[in-house]
Amino acid sequence: DTAVSQTPKYLVTQMGNDKSIKCEQNLGHDTMYWYKQDSKKFLKIMFSYNNKELIINETVPNRFSPKSPDKAHLNLHINSLELGDSAVYFCASSHSTSGWYNEQFFGPGTRLTVL
């Protein structure tokens, strides 16, 4: 049983396109996150949602728009893709808004390549 799943696993697209990455968790968690991992493996938080509400929005271009239709889903839409957006994007989830105090469960990642 997959706990945190993401689709697609790989995404190759041209500069300027718009793309979406989907995330679902079946753990019953109420907090979900999006992280970006660059080529040097540095992992940085982008967004955090609790019960479908945005609670963390780090310095991310407004071309990135998260959407949480329900507690189990957090999707990431990216407009006007740029070369620098190439990275691996990870979705994660945890219990409660004090997720920083609890373990986070990560999805397998989506490798985005912008050409």
Partner 1 sequence: SQQGEEDPQALSIQEGENATMNCSYKTSINNLQWYRQNSGRGLVHLILIRSNEREKHSGRLRVTLDTSKKSSSLLITASRAADTASYFCATGTSGNTPLVFGKGTRLSVIA
Closest listed residue to residue 115, CA positions, set 86, 89, 88 = 86
CB 22 within 8 A of CB 75: yes
Q: How many CB atoms lie within 10 A of CB 29?
A: 21
Distance CA 6, CA 55 (A): 21
> Does residue number 44 form part of the binding site for partner 1 (CB under 8 A)?
yes
CB 102, min distance to partner 1, A: 8
Q: Which is nearer to partner 1, 75 or 93 (CB)?
A: 93
> Does residue number 72 form part of the binding site for partner 1 (CB under 8 A)?
no
The residue range among 11-19, 52-60, 63-71, 74-82 that interacts with partner 1, by the rule CB under 8 A, is 52-60
Q: Which amino acid is at 65?
A: S
> Does residue number 89 form part of the binding site for partner 1 (CB under 8 A)?
no
> Does residue number 48 form part of the binding site for partner 1 (CB under 8 A)?
yes
Q: How many CB atoms lie within 10 A of CB 11?
A: 19
Q: Which is nearer to partner 1, 71 or 109 (CB)?
A: 109
